[in-house]
Structure 1
């Protein structure tokens, strides 16, 4: 677990738009840098997400999607993104979550009657230490299992400050649920202590649902990070 080291040198500028969508109010993020955009966790109606980004940010090229984990409410928009972007569209997911979307889509259909379009096969399987270039910023992959076996956090040191897309691993004062298939309470606690060690205190943590937070705040008030 402890091998990754982050590059903390500020590089590039970024604009982030939060797009709350889907049946469980997921935070999808349009990450825009130097006229390129990667969508993190397109939850739902990927066609509309891409059309919105193109309308609001003319001249920006949508590269595709990267997902913090494979749950249906984080990959549900991937199919639409791929259709709308077309040839060369990227879909990146941690290798350890490669089987999760199919299983979780079936699970959510059975549990809640939610129909989710299949995202298809990822174009790139991610692992600890990988980097995703978007314009002139670099998203660094940190593996944070617990909510799912292949959950990841995406960290970037930018000219505006440090940011991390934490998916459903970390929430203000709390952490993601571990009672779903593939969840592991002990693993998520190890992942949180790993984040506490790796992420600078001023890192803004952008969560999969609800409000964002900062590492400093979580180190102070999140009981699960006192481990």
Structure 2
């Protein structure tokens, strides 16, 4: 395990979750001081922008970040940018920036849902990158497997350790690996990686359904325990 994280807790982080889109994706508004970052806007970006204004009045939107490039996590980016302004940067990993168009086509073909293609990303994220806003930092951890460029965003805040895990981790399980660029081996390795890297008390904010913690997953997630063998 080559990567290290800054575990020094600093700043405060408040989180709002909005479940939206055709397959119930969790969009997160991460608020620190006078700024907010939107994570995984799934659907109807203009409406999400209205919810954001209601939940986080007066906060400056520092960035829109997607944990991966599947249509149900990027579908609201374009609409939010129209509503919020083109000066709000859109961030995603380089590998997943390349699959966004195909992912939208795949969802249209499989389930009949259509999404608008996001604009060209303003910043391509890699492992070890940091996104600073308010008085906190999101640290980027590469977690391929669900998609080639999936990422986890970890924040060591004074208010508690938090990780936005997208579809890499589900309680007791992991995201599907049968779509383009998916890999069962890679996602098992990624689960082991975050299990070894993140503090046990880290609150994991999932792309769909309920939250969990690293401690809980270390006890009950057989996929994570299998992946941990690589880091011991």
Partner of 1:122: 121
Query: Is 1:163 the equivalent of 2:172?
Result: no
Counterpart position of 2:73: 74
- What is the alpha-carbon distance in structure 2 between the residues aligned to residue 157 and residue 107 of structure 1? 36
CA–CA separation in structure 2 for the residues paired with 1:97 and 1:157: 25
Normalising by structure 1, what TM-score? Answer: 0.98
Aligned partners of 1:40 and 1:65 also within 8 Å: yes
Q: Could you tell me which residue of structure 1 aligns to residue 152 of structure 2? A: 153
After the TM superposition, which residues 4-153 of structure 1 pair with which residues of structure 2 at under 5 Å, given as runs?
4-153=3-152
Supply the distance in 1 between the matched residues of 2:27 and 2:3 (Cα, whole angstroms): 26
Instruction: Give the alignment's Cα RMSD to 1 decimal.
Output: 0.8
TM-score (norm 2): 0.95
**How many aligned positions are there?**
226
Question: CA offsets, 1:168-226, max 9 Å, x none?
Answer: 00000000000111100000011011111100000000000000000000000001011
Per-residue deviation, residues 23-78 of structure 1 (Å, max 9, x unmatched):
00000000011111110000011111111111222211122310000000000000
**3-state SS of the aligned residue for 1:157?**
strand
Q: Which runs of 5+ in 1 are unaligned?
A: none
Q: Any stretches of 5+ residues in structure 2 without a counterpart?
A: 227-232
Name the SS for the 1:38 alignment partner.
Answer: strand
Contact 1:189/1:225 (CA < 8 Å) preserved in 2?
yes
The 4+ residue runs of structure 1 with deviation greater than 2 A are: none
Tell me the alpha carbon deviations over residues 142-172 of structure 1, each in whole angstroms, 9 at most, x when there is no partner: 0000000000000000011100000000000
